[in-house]
Structure 1
Amino acid sequence: MNAVPQEITSLVGREVYSNNGVFVGEIEDVRLDLDARAVTGLALAELNHELFAGRVERNTGVILPYRWVRAVGDVVLVNDIIERLDTGTDEQEAEAGQSAQ
């Protein structure tokens, strides 16, 4: 079954949760690969500061790799890997920084 294409802007404002039901943040913008015509990341703001404590300062955002997305609907579900950002390569994949304005 083919998914119906959606406007990229329809992602903005949606809440993001882990597939365990933990609130992660709200989509503020998307990162695109124009050559591949694909979304490569989600820029999140309004973060769950307990989840990112000690990693991201308040008033900043993060960009999650789009490959972590499990499902897109009224909310966006991402792998529970976001809850395990303790050490190692997973931590390096979550790019902390200022969200696109």
Structure 2
Amino acid sequence: MAIDRETTPSEITTLVGREVYSNNGVFVGEIEDLRLDLNAESVTGLALHQLNHELFDQETRSSRGVIVPYRWVQAVGDVVIINEIVERMQTPDSESAEPDAEGEMRA
């Protein structure tokens, strides 16, 4: 299912509680809340909790959750599919991924 950027507000709230997976099928977390830009009337991020601890460093694991940019969303259906970038952010050869000042993940 393609992303419908013209989703009505009542449909946006149905995202809460949905599981988020990378496009490679790896569980990332569950949507707890949405980050909105009220001026642009758009969703800018997904606040995730119940995180897959294998994808995030210890600091992130001890926090309440993370916010992933909505631009990473590839598809919305029974689950939400995002780019595999979360999987690539932490590799054994690189530094851990850490949230930036706005709570978005950076490598």
How high is the TM-score relative to the length of structure 2? 0.75
CA distance in 1, matches of 2:56, 2:88: 11
Runs of at least 4 residues off by over 4 Å: 90-94
Q: How big is the shift at 1:65?
A: 0.2
Report what 1:68 is aligned to: 72
Task: State TM-score, norm by structure 1.
Answer: 0.79
Measured against aligned partners, the alpha-carbon deviations of 1:2-53 in whole angstroms (never above 9, x if no partner) come to x473422100000000000000000000000011110000000000011113
Q: Specify the code of the residue in structure 2 equivalent to 1:23.
A: F
Structure 1: state its 5+ residue gaps: 97-101
Instruction: Report the RMSD for the aligned CA atoms in angstroms.
Output: 2.5
Alpha-carbon distance change, 45 to 78 in structure 1, aligned in 2, over 3 angstroms: same
2:32 corresponds to which of 12, 18, 28: 28
| 5+ residue gaps, structure 2 | none
- What is the identity, as a one-letter code, of the residue corresponding to 1:42? L
